[in-house]
Structure 1
């Protein structure tokens, strides 16, 4: 039996074939899951094209995680394609350029608020919106970048990720009684569209491979995607509120 046989999974954040979310969706299908994707606005067309490159073309529903209307309609939109959700993957993040790249002291609250809303509060929004389709044994998995440190150039996105990680723990607390797990995968740097949009991203990824006991390939999203699948599966039935590091071991090493 495959890892996700018969499961119905909602995956956000598929923009290109290089995105971690695309590899999650691909592997999920290969492991027996039925997948639905989300996108919104001008990105819808791009996601629909990419969705046809999966092993099985996946439907795409519109979801702007800052839109109350989209969130209220999510269960109905997804319900047109699947009768339930066994898993939800949060792979959403955005910050204006004004809060990245050594602009920590000059960033305006309005732009910081956008980063926190899209990159952190959206985890709660997405979970609540998907809840009508989820039952006991469900799993919500998000992607983070270790918020324990003040990284070069990451600035307010790092603060948003810290809020994201805290949000996951509170969701684990409040959704646990309903049998729903909430966990995160903290990935090492991967050359995705989102990562390369960060000014000076090379300052983060540079030397990561040399620091990682297992080594690290910034061009390979597969290890991260496999970890997401493991947390979506039934093999972690009593794990929630956890952050699984998939970074070659860098998080455990001293400077």
Structure 2
């Protein structure tokens, strides 16, 4: 018996099989869940190609990919309607969505204009609430929303406004936990250590994280191994944490807990 037997899970953020979200989808299937993926814009076809690598769901169905641009409310409505017809309910959602314009990352925090910062906040932060808008109505018997995060208790090199957006994401998660708890819906974040994904490669100076993480993490860290993060997300999507919400779970080898 799997942790997610019979559950229906929406997975955002799959681009390639190196994506953290792909690892979550794969393990969720192994644990008995039926999954669908979402994609947007020019990356939609990439998501569709990658979906084939997941094979079929436990119920024998092919993996469907729905268009969902988190900045377009109509997309959320359309996907919600489609899943209401397909499944009738949604048990869990993975938020693995983030984007910041080039000016928001790099060497100079002061360079970014508000218009670019607004895009980063809309896509990377408000999108968590947008996913709740779309899928909470299908969580009639409770459910779990889990977002991928990066620890923001300190300022990081090059991360700049994406770090600000992630800090705001943590706040949104807490408010959603408060708002949705009476409906039996949990909202938690998993703060992952650096993983060598397509998204990570777009961050200037990402190598700085890679160079120090393994040596300082008490449990060690492999930037090419997303499985520890994926397994934690799947556990949080399951019923094994029925009274845990508004939480940030660190999966970083213990890096966040150590000093110099």
Deviations 1:143-171 (A, max 9, x none): 00001110000000000000001100000
> Structure 1 residues 91-100 or 38-47, which shifts more?
38-47
Unpaired runs of 5+ residues, structure 1, are none
Measure how far apart 1:41 and its partner are. Answer: 2.0
> Structure 1 residues 41-50 or 169-178, which shifts more?
41-50
Measure how far apart 1:82 and its partner are. Answer: 2.0
Q: Distance in 1 between matches of 2:42 and 2:110?
A: 32
Residue number in structure 2 paired with 1:203? 208
Measure how far apart 1:254 and its partner are. Answer: 1.4
Deviations 1:187-221 (A, max 9, x none): 00000100110111112222100000000000001
Residue number in structure 1 paired with 2:153? 148
Aligned partner (choices 177, 188, 191) of residue 186 of structure 1: 191
- Report if the CA contact (8 A) 1:11-1:89 is conserved: yes
- Aligned positions of 1:8-157 closer than 5 A: 8-56=8-56, 57-157=62-162
Give the number of aligned pairs: 255
Q: Please give the secondary structure, in 1, of the residue aligned with 2:111.
A: coil
Measure how far apart 1:78 and its partner are. Answer: 2.5
Q: Distance in 1 between matches of 2:159 and 2:219?
A: 24
Q: Distance in 1 between matches of 2:203 and 2:14?
A: 18
Give the structure-1-normalised TM-score. Answer: 0.98
Runs of 4+ in 1 over 3 A off after TM superposition: none
- Report if the CA contact (8 A) 1:87-1:138 is conserved: yes
Measure how far apart 1:106 and its partner are. Answer: 1.3
> Structure 1 residues 177-186 or 65-74, which shifts more?
65-74
- Report if the CA contact (8 A) 1:59-1:81 is conserved: no
Q: Please give the secondary structure, in 1, of the residue aligned with 2:250.
A: strand
Deviations 1:74-97 (A, max 9, x none): 211223432210000000000011
Residue number in structure 1 paired with 2:7? 7
Unpaired runs of 5+ residues, structure 2, are 57-61
Measure how far apart 1:71 and its partner are. Answer: 2.1
- The Cα RMSD (Å) is 1.0
Q: Please give the secondary structure, in 2, of the residue aligned with 1:190.
A: coil
> Structure 1 residues 216-225 or 44-53, which shifts more?
44-53
Q: Distance in 2 between matches of 1:19 and 1:101?
A: 22
Q: Distance in 2 between matches of 1:135 and 1:205?
A: 42
Deviations 1:208-253 (A, max 9, x none): 0000000000000110000000000110000000000000001111
